[in-house]
Amino acid sequence: MLRLRMNTEDWREKVTGWVGQDEDVDALADELCGDVLTRLAADGVEYERAHQQSVGAFAIVQGGTPAERAAFDAALDAAVRLMKTTV
């Protein structure tokens, strides 16, 4: 099963490179997390919250099969593309 970190600080680096200084980075990070989780659920990918950092600093994905990790990467890419068009 895919294990994911869902804390805002874990997702912040995914948006800080392309948002403006006036944007609320924490709100965008939370929105991105929610969108990715919604996409995973729609694709039938099971996940659970990882409560401890077991991989590396701010690494979101903490476990899962290669197929689950690929599904996460695809969901993240789609969510980032969508967010970039709306921000």
Instruction: Return the pLDDT at 56.
Output: 60
- Cα distance between residue 37 and residue 76, in whole Å: 9
Phi, psi angles (nearest 5°) of residue 52: -130, 150
Exposure string of 1-30, with b = 16+ CB inside 10 Å and e = fewer, is ebbbbbbeebbbebbeeeeeeeeebeebbb
pLDDT digits (tens, 9 = 90+) for 57-76: 567 888 899 999 999 999 99
> SS3 for 4?
strand
Instruction: Return the pLDDT at 54.
Output: 63
pLDDT digits (tens, 9 = 90+) for 27-44: 999 999 999 999 999 999
Instruction: Return the pLDDT at 4.
Output: 92
Most confidently modeled range among 15-24, 33-42, 48-57? 33-42
